[in-house]
Amino acid sequence: MSAEDNKRTVQQIFEAFGRGDIPGVLGHVSEDVTWKAPGPSVVSYFGDRRGHAGATEFFVQLGTSVDFEHFEPGAFVADDDKVVVLGRERGRVKGTGKTFDNEWALVFTFDGGGKVTGFQCYENTAAIAEAFS
């Protein structure tokens, strides 16, 4: 698959996520995906996960703990087997009522067959952890 094909796939992933269609997201993800959202354990969806079960757990934890007031991908940058998405989010933590507002970068790594084999999130983990505390 080309870098442009991979970019289109990530755009489809974001469209599915926007509809709340997690099976639609997982349809683009390999069975043995590595899913990483590093950060302190006070944030329920942070951590390293593996496979569809791990990615599903990430989305379950995210959905049960945060209401997004704003979530917007901006630039989609594709190069070889990587697609980087730059965006911004504002969320309210359900358990505390506190908000966080930050920019993020998400990196998707692809195999040669068009499936995501790696996901890594880069964001202001301190701001999110503060909202969870």
Complete DSSP assignment for 80-101? TTEEEEEEEEEEEETTT--EEE
Tell me what the pLDDT averaged over the chain comes to.
97
Sign of CA dihedral 5, 11, 14, 15: negative
Q: pLDDT per residue over 64-112, tens digit each?
A: 999 999 999 999 999 999 999 999 999 999 999 999 999 999 999 999 8
Enumerate the domain spans of the chain.
3-132
Distance CA 34, CA 76 (A): 20
- Does 3.10.450.50 match the CATH number of domain 3-132? yes
Residue 63: strand, helix, or coil: helix
